[in-house]
Every structure is written in C-alpha cells, then in structure tokens.
Amino acid sequence: NAGVTQTPKFQVLKTGQSMTLQCAQDMNHEYMSWYRQDPGMGLRLIHYSVGAGITDQGEVPNGYNVSRSTTEDFPLRLLSAAPSQTSVYFCASQRGQGLTVSYNEQFFGPGTRLTVL
Amino acid sequence: GIQVEQSPPDLILQEGANSTLRCNFSDSVNNLQWFHQNPWGQLINLFYIPSGTKQNGRLSATTVATERYSLLYISSSQTTDSGVYFCAVKETSGSRLTFGEGTQLTVNP
C-alpha cells in the first residue's frame, strides 16, 4: 500500500489564482480530512469527509472547497488564493469510527507546502 | 469544542536523558493519538491510546481518561527523537480530531 499520497509537494501561487491540492489513499478508508499547519502551531481541520458524497466543514473552512466523488480521492480546492493561505497542508485518512484502533487511527500524507505571494 | 493543552512547549535534552510530555484535554475522548513530526515535516503515528498504557521500544504512553490526561515517555533519548510531538484527541460526542500545539523537543549530542 502507498498509504496517503499528496501532490504537489511544493507550490507557489500568486494572489487570486486557484488551484487544487490532490490527496489519495489506497487503504479503502471511509474518513478523509484536510488540515493546515501554520508555523509554531498544531494542525487545524479545514474540511473532512465521512464517505463518498459526504463532506463537512472543520475549524477553518473559509476559502476552501472539497468534494468526495470516490472513496480514494479527496481534493482540496483553493478558489482565489490569498497570502493568509500560505501554509503546509496535510491530508489524512481513517478507516472509520468504531471501537478498535483499526478504525480510529488516523494516518497522514507527507504534506504540501503552499506559498501565496 | 474540546481544548487540548500540551506541556512543556519546549524541551532541550542531552542525549541519553529521559523525558515526560503531557497532554491535558477538557472533555471525554474516545480517540487519542500521539504523533512525532520530524524535522522534515513528516507526521509519524506513535500511539493510538484513548486509555491505558502502551510501549514501543524506548517510547511509552499512558492515558488516564477519567482524569483527562495522557503522558508520553521517552527514555534514553537520541538526536533522532528531535522534532515536535503532538497530542490529538477526538471527543466522544464529536467527529473531529483536535490537535494540541505540540512540544518542541531538541536532543543535543
């Protein structure tokens, strides 16, 4: 298994540009999430999905869109990039919710470092 | 929402020393994970431990759910242990993982 993969690894955008960060997992996990990490801080949840066709907002959703058309993929779209969106973005997946570690443990991708000028 | 506090925020050790990192949380949880973020930014799962005690080599963790805290023990620290250690929890009534701000660990040779 490749686990959770993210592309690109690095990206530089100009203010106002749009782009999509890709995330894929090959573990047949139901839950997928997007986080951002700013310097000196923990991760904050942007959006998450509990299954194909179902998404919900996290702590900091403004300026981002998501969709989940397949179990494997969970892309994050920046509609009109702003300097405040300069951050490292992590995608994560989890089997589901249940009583055992195999359901609840969350696994993270390698991250995308985004700079908005 | 649930509050997660980690202490200390920074820790500097000499190689070979032992350390204890703490995570306090403000509500009942059914998911607690410890992660290590290495200097290259990669997040590595250390433990899934909503309750009880686990050990993995030089690392061990204990969560006392009734008292709303978890401890991560690092023994005989090595320079490769440097990085940021995060605690993340999911409250019993919620569906999201909430992260603490982390403990920055530096192990000097």
pLDDT averaged over every residue in chain B? 93
Kindly determine whether residue B48 and residue A101, on different chains, have CB atoms separated by under 8 Å: yes
Render chain B in DSSP notation, one character per residue. Answer: ---EEEE-SEEEEETT--EEEEEEESS-EEEEEEEEE-TT--EEEEEE-SSEEEEETTEEEEEEGGGTEEEEEE-S--GGG-EEEEEEEEETT----EE---EEEEEE-
Q: What integer is the mean pLDDT of B48-54?
A: 93
Question: Which chain B positions have a beta carbon within 8 Å of A59's beta carbon?
Answer: 1, 96
Kindly report, residue by residue over A56-112, the tens digit of the pLDDT: 999 899 999 999 999 999 999 999 999 999 999 999 998 876 656 566 788 999 999
Report pLDDT for A42: 83
| Encoded amino acid at A111, one letter | G
pLDDT of residue B96: 78
Contact B50 A104 (CB under 8 A): yes
In this complex, is the C-beta atom of A41 within 8 Å of any C-beta atom belonging to chain B? yes
Cβ of B35 within 8 Å of Cβ of A108? The answer is yes
Residue ranges in chain A assigned as alpha helix (H): 101-104
The pLDDT > 90 percentage for chain B reads 78
At a CB cut-off of 8 Å and minimum separation 6, what does B65 contact? B28, B29, B50, B51
User: What digits encode the pLDDT tens for the residues A11-58?
Assistant: 999 999 999 999 999 999 999 999 999 987 789 999 999 899 999 999
pLDDT at position B75: 96
Q: What is the pLDDT of residue A102?
A: 62
Chain B residue nearest residue A101, CA to CA: B48
The pLDDT assigned to A103 comes to: 66
Confidence at residue B3, expressed as pLDDT on a 0 to 100 scale: 93
Tell me which chain A residue has its CA closest to the CA of residue B45: A107
Cα Rg, chain A, nearest whole Å: 14
Do the chains contact at B48 and A110, CB–CB below 8 Å?
no
